[in-house]
Amino acid sequence: MDDKNQPYLIPASIIVAGVIIAVAVMYAGGVDFGGKKADTKKQGPEAQAGEASALLGVVEGDQVLGSPLAPVTFVEFGDFQCPFCGRFYQTTEKELIEKYVKTGQVKFIWRDFAFLGQESFDAAVAARCAGEQGKFWEYHNYLFENQREENQGTFSVANLKNFALVLNLDASQFDSCLDSQKYLSAVQKETELGRQLGVDGTPSSFVNGANIAGSLPFAQFEALIQNALNP
């Protein structure tokens, strides 16, 4: 948890100056993720905002669970190491799939928001590598089913490769993809664009653009889905 709810008496001029400096630094030098920098200086804020908004719909290369033609789009920004994302997977996500995805009413899209450490980035890259062989969702599920403490080796590169063997993936193709960190820049970029949408923790979900943060009871998500289905 952060300290933003604690009262601080700071002159408004200092706050404004700090914000201006922070934004200038971010766009001048990029934002550090996983030991590397996401290149934000090539685009202006408006272009980046447009890319961020596009993440609330289906974009090229997406792994979509359910019919792409479903009227409701459910987007989850998550981190494979996040215990609240694990709880979301075990409860809300499973109910969502049974009741709305399998019936063609909702399409479910995963977005990477890797922020808990190197194993978060490695797991996100590994899931995308599995996606090359048509098993993104199987790998996504296996990661959550084997989730343990953060950055303690559960999602080490060696373990991620073993997970691929369990799921009968082509080991040579998967290992080459993971070792090259083929999708690291994509994971970094998606995480940064998520921040531009206001995501600051996981899970953070969007139902046809309406945000609901946290691993909350399914009924709260269902209310948004029903509103989207019956405007």
230 vs 66, 70, 221, 225, CA distance in Å?
20, 14, 14, 9
Residue of 155, 177, 214, 195 lying closest to 33 (CA atoms):
195
Mean pLDDT for the stretch of residues 114-139: 96
The domain limits of the chain are 60-229
Residue 31 has pLDDT above 60, yes or no: no
What is the structure's pLDDT at 40? 35
Start-end of H helices in 94-229: 94-96, 118-131, 136-145, 157-166, 171-179, 184-196, 218-229
Query: What is the Cβ-side half-sphere exposure of residue 130, based on CA atoms within 13 angstroms?
Result: 26
84 phi-psi bin (left φ>0, alpha ψ -120 to 50, beta other): alpha
Query: Which CA distances in Å does 201 have to 52, 104, 113, 198?
Result: 16, 29, 8, 9
Please compute the mean of the pLDDT values over residues 43-57 and round it to a whole number: 65
Q: What pTM did the predictor assign? A: 0.76
Tens of pLDDT along 97-106?
999 999 999 9
**142-182 pLDDT, tens digit each:** 999 999 988 899 999 999 999 999 999 999 999 999 999 99
Quote the CA–CA distance of 194 and 48 in Å, as a whole number.
10
Element (H or E) spanning 110, and its range? strand 106-112
Average pLDDT, integer, range 208-217: 86
The domain defined by 60-229 carries CATH number 3.40.30.10: yes
Higher-pLDDT residue of 58, 22: 58
What is the pLDDT averaged over residues 22-40? 33
